[in-house]
């Protein structure tokens, strides 16, 4: 439980204030308020008789006992008054030096102290908690706060909820102010329901570690969404079996991918090749003329300057190593696309820090360079872009398999010639007619997104990571099927972001790629990329076979439709 003390005009509070600062001997004397008032007034209004007769003589030895008592009461009263009105002031000066440890925000300053002191018992972790651990006071039993802070924790959760609803307490500050991530989510959730007038019943709150997302995964949580995880496999890839976790709410997806894995396994497995591995970031800078922009382009692309720029770039991380810089000009604006290795991290933050180092360095020789943005969309992140399709971003992988004729017939329920023709007319010609950009496939995004959600990747990056071209060809005299997927921009990591959450970490562990590789930095993320490509290969093979056999609608009607009466469920809510 949190203890918060605030000064008031009550005698018990004044007594506690003195006790809290070590003045117990004085407070025992000051407990008789009426006596103090009488003697204090008497000592002020009735000076000693000797003073009335001769004001210049005040020898202590001729004072009477009542007069001495009056003087002592006067001194005690002054001490009491100073203590009563001075504790809050003194404490405010003491607490001023440690405001950062309490995450002071605007005018809603609140200082919270856990019983027993120390940060070891703080429920929240992360940057805010680490800062609090450095300078938060630990020796006092109670913490005195200014009156302006009374609103946050002067009552139970109901008072705090009312503060959030009225706007006096910012919702985003609840974690730092309460010091309890779960409690903050509970308060915010109830406030949300009152503000909107709508229930969030059905959105789970219990059973989640809210500390694990503080400062890194999600802000202002009110619960979590449940997504079922299915397993496709075994996927036999490069001589090893993998059970692929897929988080999805689309019926048939896991079953279809599993069927593709079965066909690949029965045909001897698939093989993969990693073509490239480099994350990109492309800042945009501006000059007064196009000529000056071109001069910087020639400078950074000159091989003679690469070593110098690499040293500057590589300062940011021991894993981030500059690979190349490619530039594009639009008038007097220059876009510099930096590519670097990032170990087992997806690497966006890593490459951004390196780019900032280089920009700072370049401004010495190009002082007229104006930095418009650290990202100029020539990277290109979370958008379908030709530069990713051609140059690659993240991991570029090609995966292939030869599926035997009998497997095509018995497992996939179709034939090689039909599959080859369908692939040409659908994935190649049809996509070209639609003006597709890297979308020459049946449903690569389905598999990529499902694996991304299960393993803690950034789901928004499935946009470019799903760029894929699926090729099919009859081989071995037309009997067997050669199928391949080429994916130039799979952006994944096995450390950082959502990969550290318990559920996602478990799925990475299932694949054998949890965390960073100590023996070969970057090998875990590269392996994950090839597993994703192999899973896409299985998904493409199965879906194309279902379409060729005319089974798509039938299977979706069977496995992708709820048997529950949705109208009744909706009316109950």
**Which positions are annotated as active-site residues?**
250, 382, 458, 556
Question: Taking the mean position of all CA atoms in its chain, how far away is CA 58?
Answer: 75
On whether the CB atoms of residues 6 and 150 are closer than 8 A, the answer is: yes
Structure tokens at 113: 């102290």
Task: State how far the Cα of 367 lies from the Cα of 287, in Å rounded to an integer.
Answer: 10
On whether the CB atoms of residues 49 and 59 are closer than 8 A, the answer is: no
Task: State how far the Cα of 258 lies from the Cα of 231, in Å rounded to an integer.
Answer: 8
The 3-state DSSP class for residue 407 equals helix
CB-based contacts of 351, cutoff 8 Å, min separation 6:
279, 280, 281, 320, 338, 339, 340, 342
Bridge partners of 134, per DSSP, are: none
The 3-state DSSP class for residue 247 equals strand
Q: Tell whether omega for the bond before 477 is within 30 degrees of 0, i.e. cis.
A: no
Question: Taking the mean position of all CA atoms in its chain, how far away is CA 97?
Answer: 30
Task: State how far the Cα of 119 lies from the Cα of 135, in Å rounded to an integer.
Answer: 10
CA of 340: how far to CAs of 68, 112, 228, 498, 538, in Å?
85, 45, 35, 22, 30
DSSP classification of residue 270: B
DSSP letters spanning 453-520: HHHT--GGGHHHHT-EEEEEEEETTTTEEEEEEEEEEE---SBSGGGGSHHHHHHHHHHT--S--SSS
146 phi-psi bin (left φ>0, alpha ψ -120 to 50, beta other): beta
Task: State how far the Cα of 418 lies from the Cα of 259, in Å rounded to an integer.
Answer: 18
CB atoms within 10 A of CB 364: 8
Structure tokens at 284: 């945009």
Residue whose C-alpha is closest to residue 396's, from 545, 308, 274, 255: 274
Q: Where are the alpha helices (DSSP H) in 376-467?
A: 386-391, 405-410, 416-423, 431-433, 444-455, 462-465
SS (H, E, C) 29-53: HCCCHHHHHHHHHHHHHCCCHHHHH
């Amino acid at each position: 439980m949190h203890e918060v003390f605030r000064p008031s005009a009550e005698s018990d509070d004044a007594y506690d204030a003195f006790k809290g600062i070590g003045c117990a001997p004085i407070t025992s004397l000051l407990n008789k308020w009426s006596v103090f008032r009488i003697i204090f007034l008497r000592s002020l209004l009735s000076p000693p008789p000797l003073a009335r007769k001769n004001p210049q003589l005040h020898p202590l030895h001729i004072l009477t006992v009542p007069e001495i008592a009056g003087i002592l009461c006067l001194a005690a009263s002054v001490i009491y008054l100073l203590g009563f009105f001075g504790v809050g002031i003194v404490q405010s000066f003491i607490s001023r030096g440690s405001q950062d440890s309490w995450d002071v925000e605007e005018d809603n300053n609140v200082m919270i102290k856990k019983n027993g002191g120390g940060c070891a018992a703080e429920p929240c972790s992360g940057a805010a908690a680490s800062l609090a651990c450095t300078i938060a006071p630990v020796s006092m039993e109670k913490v005195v706060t200014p009156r302006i802070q009374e609103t946050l924790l002067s009552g139970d959760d109901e008072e705090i909820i009312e503060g959030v609803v009225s706007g006096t307490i910012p919702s985003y500050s609840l974690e730092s102010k309460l010091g309890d991530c779960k409690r903050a989510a509970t308060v915010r959730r109830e406030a949300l329901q009152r503000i909107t007038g709508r229930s969030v019943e059905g959105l789970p709150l219990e059973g989640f570690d809210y500390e694990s997302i503080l400062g890194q995964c999600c802000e202002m949580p009110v619960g979590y969404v449940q997504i079922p995880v299915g397993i496709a496999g075994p996927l036999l890839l490069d001589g090893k079996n993998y059970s692929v976790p897929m988080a999805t709410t689309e019926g048939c997806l896991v079953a279809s991918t599993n069927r593709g894995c079965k066909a690949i396994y029965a045909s001897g497995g698939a093989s993969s090749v990693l073509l490239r591995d480099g994350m990109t970031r492309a800042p945009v800078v501006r000059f007064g003329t196009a000529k000056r922009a071109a001069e910087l382009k020639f400078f950074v692309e000159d091989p003679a300057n690469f070593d110098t720029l690499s040293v500057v770039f590589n300062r940011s991380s021991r894993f981030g190593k500059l690979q190349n810089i490619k530039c594009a000009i639009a008038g007097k604006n220059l876009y510099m696309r930096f590519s670097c290795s990032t170990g087992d991290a997806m690497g966006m933050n890593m490459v951004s820090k390196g780019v900032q180092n280089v920009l700072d360095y370049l401004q010495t020789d190009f002082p007229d360079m104006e930095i418009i943005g650290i990202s100029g969309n020539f990277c290109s992140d979370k958008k379908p872009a030709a530069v990713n399709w051609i140059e690659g971003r993240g991991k570029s992988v090609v995966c292939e398999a030869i599926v035997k004729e009998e497997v095509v017939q018995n497992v996939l329920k179709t034939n090689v010639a039909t599959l080859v023709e369908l692939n040409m007319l659908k994935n190649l010609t049809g996509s070209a007619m639609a003006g597709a950009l890297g979308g020459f496939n049946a449903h690569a995004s389905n598999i990529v997104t499902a694996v991304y959600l299960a393993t803690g990747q950034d789901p928004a990056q499935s946009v470019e990571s799903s760029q894929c071209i699926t090729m099919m060809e009859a081989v071995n005299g037309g009997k067997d099927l050669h199928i391949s997927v080429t994916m130039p921009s799979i952006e994944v990591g096995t450390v950082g972001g959502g990969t550290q959450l318990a559920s996602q970490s478990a799925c990475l562990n299932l694949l054998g790629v949890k965390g960073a590789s100590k023996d070969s930095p970057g090998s875990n993320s590269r392996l994950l990329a090839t597993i994703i490509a192999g899973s896409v290969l299985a998904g493409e093979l199965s879906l194309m076979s279902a379409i060729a056999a005319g089974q798509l609608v039938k299977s979706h009607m069977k496995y992708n439709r709820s048997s529950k009466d949705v109208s009744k469920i909706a009316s109950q809510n």
